[in-house]
Amino acid sequence: MKRAVLFFVFLFALIMLRAQAREAGYLVLGEDSIFYEWAGSGPSLVLIHDGLLHREVWNDQFSSFSKDFKVISYDRRGYGASSAATGSYTHLADLKALFKQLEIENAVLIACSSGGALAIDFTLEYPQKVKALVLVGAVVGGFSYTGHMRDRGGHLPENFRNEFEEGVYYIMDDPYEIYEKNSEAKKRALDLFRKYPLRDNRRPAYVRPEIPSCRRLSEIAIPALILVGEFDIPDVHAHAGAINAGIRGSKRQIVRQSGHLVPLEQADAFNEIVLDFLMDNFN
């Protein structure tokens, strides 16, 4: 009896270990390469990072979610372990190529900030490939920004010597990116940023769609959860409201004691909210 119990304990531990073991690879597009990693099994979740950090901003979520789902995380071109862009490209086409290489039939997209705008665009372009959306501090194409957003409420310095200096400002001094009391999150974000400084010097030209995404939100007919940090900048809250109003049946929630980078600042609360949403919709 004792041996049987020990065997099942060992088997359970082995299953949990395998569920979280990470595998990695590269998507090669011309002269460029995009790094990705995955773990777990079950319904697919694709994690899309923001415009400041890279895939490792999702480390807490990757470990947690891969116990019940197949989790895929990648560095957008010019970020993290992916190469800097050598020619023209779009993040939309890159994401489609990732789906093709990994043979992802459909997935839940969990996306932060500008990654959220990409997730919305991808859902509108390839609705059959997206089962649900989790949008965190997301913006949406075609919806305007105020001067307060552009100058960060008057706090943004007039010029920076380089992108690295600008990134450090957003992490350490910007009043909205990370809530001022989340000092540990600031340290973690700075470590992540220093590990892979921005290399996205050749940004893709923004191609404005004939109909902006903000005017097409009503076409999205899948479960959608919209999360915003309590202390995020007002424009992001406005975008969240617009997304919530546009996607019928979507749910919007404010995460307390957080700025823009909710998954990093309030990982436990974020994971609980998202897992509840996923279990409600996929169990």
More confidently predicted of 37 and 203: 37
Most confident segment among 29-43, 82-96, 198-212: 29-43
Segment 224-255, tens digit of pLDDT:
999 999 999 999 999 999 999 999 999 999 99
Summarize the confidence of residues 108-132 as an average pLDDT.
98
Superfamily of domain 30-282: Alpha/Beta hydrolase fold, catalytic domain (3.40.50.1820)
pLDDT at 184 (0 to 100): 98
- Is residue 46 pLDDT above 70, yes or no? yes
Domain ranges of the chain: 30-282
Summarize the confidence of residues 84-104 as an average pLDDT.
93
Global confidence as pTM: 0.91
Segment 142-195, tens digit of pLDDT:
999 999 999 999 999 989 988 899 999 999 999 999 999 999 999 999 999 999
Q: The dihedral of CA 165, 177, 54, 215: what is its sign?
A: negative
- Is residue 219 pLDDT above 90, yes or no? yes
Mean pLDDT of the residues in the chain:
91
Q: The dihedral of CA 183, 135, 216, 97: what is its sign?
A: positive
196: left (phi over 0), alpha (psi -120 to 50) or beta: beta
Least confident range of 9-23, 67-81, 255-269: 9-23
pLDDT at 278 (0 to 100): 96
pLDDT at 235 (0 to 100): 98
CB within 8 Å of 240: residues ≥ 6 apart: 135, 137, 138, 226, 228, 252
Instruction: Please state, in angstroms and rounded to a whole number, the distance separating the CA atoms of residues 255 and 271.
Output: 11
Instruction: Please state, in angstroms and rounded to a whole number, the distance separating the CA atoms of residues 77 and 205.
Output: 14
Summarize the confidence of residues 133-139 as an average pLDDT.
98
Instruction: Please state, in angstroms and rounded to a whole number, the distance separating the CA atoms of residues 204 and 122.
Output: 16
